[in-house]
Structure 1
């Protein structure tokens, strides 16, 4: 999820900010793990719907599902099928050697008042009834790779964004 102040031109890439969630990830041994918001399938079996719902739960921001851009599908449009006819999901496989988990990566970009973006920094969110204790961290897009380097989803999303942007697809 990328935010950009609405007081700068849309082309001002240096003004874009990414939202990260900081939350405990006990299997990783961290009580403050930075990562992009992520979700599961929604009740209708939609990844986009699940992503929109999770973004709302984790950030407090409501986003229309139809405004999500599936970066993995978009990137795969220009890739030959090197799998020899295998049917793989249009997604990233974070640990293909040990798990069948796959993650489609979505982009949502929003322009909003600078003060509203700044007010998200450090906001406490998450569903308390589910034991979620999430803090939002707003980082410049140029620093996303560094701040989220331990999270494979974050790095994959950053790389897809950079590649698709460079090719003029987003």
Structure 2
């Protein structure tokens, strides 16, 4: 196990690496850069803000131990995917904060609403349908987990660009970034965000850094096109994605996708943005 000192830390923070990870690989991993920058800025708030709860006895990052690193893709194009780390964070009175972290970075989720182009006027909401994906999710012990189309953030350039890319891969729909609405960002307009958190939903902040911006895409389609999505096989099969599409009524979404936190978050955002006339 090799060790280096994390830049710009006071006191100096040693980082212990596993054999399959180098200093440069860690420091260039987008998820680690986002997480470590946010943590650094948040810890600094303790000393700069006299009214902070921990101002008198601020917590400090003492050390990081990278316990494991998982790599994705073929041997010639491997990319760092997941990290498991332990952060030692204590104050001068030896009180500590839990620091076990599963680091994977941000993801995207898409609420895709399709409406038949012959839907009766005045009944638009009743005639809206949602595309869900059904796929193996081994972490849940499932071979047919029902959820919103989603994917990890990559180098697409923008959140909207990444969402458009994932929609195409998972549903076959050609979508332009400007056609998408970032519901999470819209709901957070005017929010005080002193800790610099990402504009996304954190589904498990007790142990995972993942944040998920929720995008909305709406389109009018023929009933024939709508039927064509039912049971459609999609996904990047070469990367282990085995996805079947499921189409449900918007009014039934809360029940059909109740196990998926992304479904419930996206539905709550959609309904309340509609209620407040922001959509």
* Equivalenced residues, count: 167
Instruction: Give the TM-score normalised by the residue count of structure 1.
Output: 0.93
Structure of greater relative contact order (alpha carbons < 8 Å, 6+ residues apart): 1
1:64 maps to: 176
Q: Contact 1:40–1:47 (CA<8 Å) still a contact in 2?
A: no
1:133 maps to: 242
Q: Are 1:13 and 2:125 counterparts?
A: yes
Using the TM superposition, give the Cα deviation of residue 138 of structure 1 relative to its aligned residue in structure 2, in angstroms: 0.2
Superposition map of 1:35-50 within 5 A: 35-50=147-162
Q: Are 1:26 and 2:163 counterparts?
A: no
Q: Highest Rg: 1 or 2? A: 2
SS at match of 1:90: coil
Q: Which has the higher strand share?
A: 2
Using the TM superposition, give the Cα deviation of residue 10 of structure 1 relative to its aligned residue in structure 2, in angstroms: 7.4
1:95 maps to: 204
Using the TM superposition, give the Cα deviation of residue 95 of structure 1 relative to its aligned residue in structure 2, in angstroms: 0.7
Q: Counterparts of 2:142 and 2:218 in 1: how far apart (Å)?
A: 29
Q: Counterparts of 2:212 and 2:150 in 1: how far apart (Å)?
A: 9
Instruction: Give the TM-score normalised by the residue count of structure 2.
Output: 0.58
Superposition map of 1:149-168 within 5 A: 149-168=258-277
Using the TM superposition, give the Cα deviation of residue 6 of structure 1 relative to its aligned residue in structure 2, in angstroms: 0.7
SS at match of 1:15: coil
Consecutive unaligned residues in structure 1, runs of 5 or more: none
What is the CA RMSD across the aligned residues, in angstroms? 1.4
1:16-72, Cα deviation, whole Å (9 max, x unpaired): 000000000011011000111112224244221111111101101111111110000
Q: Contact 1:68–1:108 (CA<8 Å) still a contact in 2?
A: yes
- After TM superposition, the runs of 4+ consecutive aligned structure 1 residues lying more than 4 A away are none
Q: Which has the higher helix share?
A: 1
1:77 maps to: 189
Q: Counterparts of 1:10 and 1:117 in 2: how far apart (Å)?
A: 20
